Amino acid sequence: MARVVAVANQKGGVAKTTTVHSLGFALAELGRRVLLVDLDPQACLSFSVGLRPDELERSLHDVFVRKMKVADVRCAVEGVEGLDILPATIDLAGSEVHLLTRTGREHVLDRALKPVADDYDVVLIDCPPSLGVLTINGLTAAGEVIIPLQCEALSHRGVGQLLETIDDVRAFANEDLVVRGIVATMYDGRTRHGREVLADVEERYGLEILDPPIRKSIRFAEAPQQGKCILQHAPSSPGAEAYRTIARRLDADRGRAR
């Protein structure tokens, strides 16, 4: 049974997609079978792995609306053994309206993933930058949550709101959901503000920081245009090594899987 991890933060631009893509690639490097789930209608993850979302004939939208099987929609990430993706298109925005009319709407993704759970060691879900029904589906399907945190005040403020949503999901849909930790993204250790935000989040919420922090680098912006993650585009860069370290840490405790 796959370990299912949602990567969530309702604030946009905090490197959720980068984190999912990079950790997925790093875990595949370790020999794990990984499924990436693009739950964001913007389809940035799908684009980042080299797909053209506007040209896809099938996507996660078809799983939600037409009740297609995940096994018929997923596709292999080209050039990366052991890494698949359940892609998104802009049509996924319409899925939100459809899901709101369905009984048990928060469990739709969870039920859809179950038939392929034995095909993978890890499922990584890229949640959209909102706390709507798509994110609720991601949190309900997951056993764990990783929170990417840009170390600045506005991103910090959103952590408390996300944790309230996680508490709600525990109460009515997924009582076993746990927060695995925070990944500090776009980190600049030279500034006191960044260090203070990170320390305050750890102290205030009692959340584990998954070291090392992911430092700012132009390499992260360059990679998606090539359909690659940082580990492919700049494999020896500090950012790539940081994600590899976090992936090894997650892989070491894979006994947490549901």
Q: Where are the domains of the chain?
A: 3-252
pLDDT at 256: 47
pLDDT for 258 equals 39
Q: Where are the alpha helices (DSSP H) in the chain?
A: 16-29, 44-48, 60-65, 70-73, 92-100, 108-113, 133-141, 153-172, 192-205, 218-222, 230-233, 238-252
* Predicted model pTM: 0.94
Residue 158: the pLDDT is 77
Architecture of domain 3-252: 3-Layer(aba) Sandwich (3.40)
d(CA 50, CA 44): 10
With residue 184 as reference, give the H or E element that holds it.
strand 178-185
130 DSSP 8-state letter: S
Q: How confident is the model at residue 189, as a pLDDT?
A: 72
Query: What pLDDT is recorded for position 155?
Result: 64
Residues 200, 245: Cα–Cα separation, whole Å: 23
Q: pLDDT 10s per residue in the chain (258 long)?
A: 899 999 999 888 889 999 999 999 999 999 999 999 999 999 999 999 999 999 999 999 999 998 899 999 999 999 899 999 999 999 999 998 889 888 889 999 999 999 999 999 999 999 999 889 999 999 999 999 999 998 776 666 778 889 999 999 999 999 999 999 999 998 877 777 778 888 888 888 899 999 999 988 788 888 888 888 898 988 999 999 999 999 999 999 864 443
- Give residue 208's pLDDT: 92
Strand order in the sheet with 3-7: 75-76, 83-86, 34-38, 122-126, 3-7, 144-150, 178-185
- Distance between CA 131 and CA 58 in Å, rounded? 25
* Cα–Cα dist 103/123, whole Å: 25
Q: Are 170 and 139 in contact (CB under 8 A)?
A: no
